């Protein structure tokens, strides 16, 4: 079984409903969810002129490898209603693989650990709730250590509710 950290985000439509639907679809796909973070409302990253996001993280277990899981996640995004738009633009749902155990993977379609996660407070704060001691396999520091050092003044995080 692979232990995997996922980051989820939504800023279009029923944002909370989109996150919850994605979690339900993960469960019905045979994925075991072992932890979910609170949901945080955050300012958009990369492209500021769009609605605010709801973000959360989930820890899952599956026997699927990274590439198989990525295909499943893209399918779930479509079922939730995601329409492909511009990079960093608005989206109904986004599900990113942050970690797969302590693996480092580089392929044409998948990079694990997520190459930008250590710069993104909207990933680190929820992830620190559910996996504070997870060690980043490249940076060799815990999620909590990385999260405590990030100072993104343009991102406001407000605790909303449990996923």
Q: Which residues belong to the active site? A: 82, 91, 94, 96
Residue of 104, 153, 90, 159 whose CA lies nearest to 128? 159
The distance of Cα 42 from the centroid of its chain, to the nearest Å, equals: 13
Beta bridge partners of 2: 62
CA distances from 17 to 1, 36, 87, 120 (A): 29, 15, 23, 23
- How far is the C-alpha of 92 from the C-alpha of 109, rounded, in Å? 21
- How far is the C-alpha of 128 from the C-alpha of 122, rounded, in Å? 10
- How far is the C-alpha of 40 from the C-alpha of 156, rounded, in Å? 9
Q: How many residues does the chain have?
A: 163
């Amino acid at each position: 079984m692979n232990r995997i950290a996922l980051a989820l985000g939504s800023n279009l439509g029923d944002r909370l409903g989109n996150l919850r639907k994605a979690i339900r679809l993960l469960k019905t796909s045979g994925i075991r969810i072992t932890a979910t973070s609170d949901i945080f409302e955050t300012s958009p990253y990369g492209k500021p002129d769009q609605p605010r996001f709801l973000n959360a993280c989930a820890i899952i277990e599956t026997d699927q490898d990274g590439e198989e899981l990525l295909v499943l996640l893209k399918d779930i995004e479509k079922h939730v209603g995601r329409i492909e738009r511009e990079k960093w633009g608005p989206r109904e749902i986004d599900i990113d693989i942050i970690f797969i155990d302590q693996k480092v993977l580089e392929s044409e379609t998948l990079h694990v650990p997520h190459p930008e996660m250590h710069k993104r407070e909207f990933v680190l704060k929820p992830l620190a709730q559910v996996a504070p001691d997870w060690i980043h396999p490249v940076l060799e520091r815990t999620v909590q250590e990385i999260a405590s050092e990030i100072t993104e003044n343009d991102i406001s995080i407000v605790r909303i509710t449990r996923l």
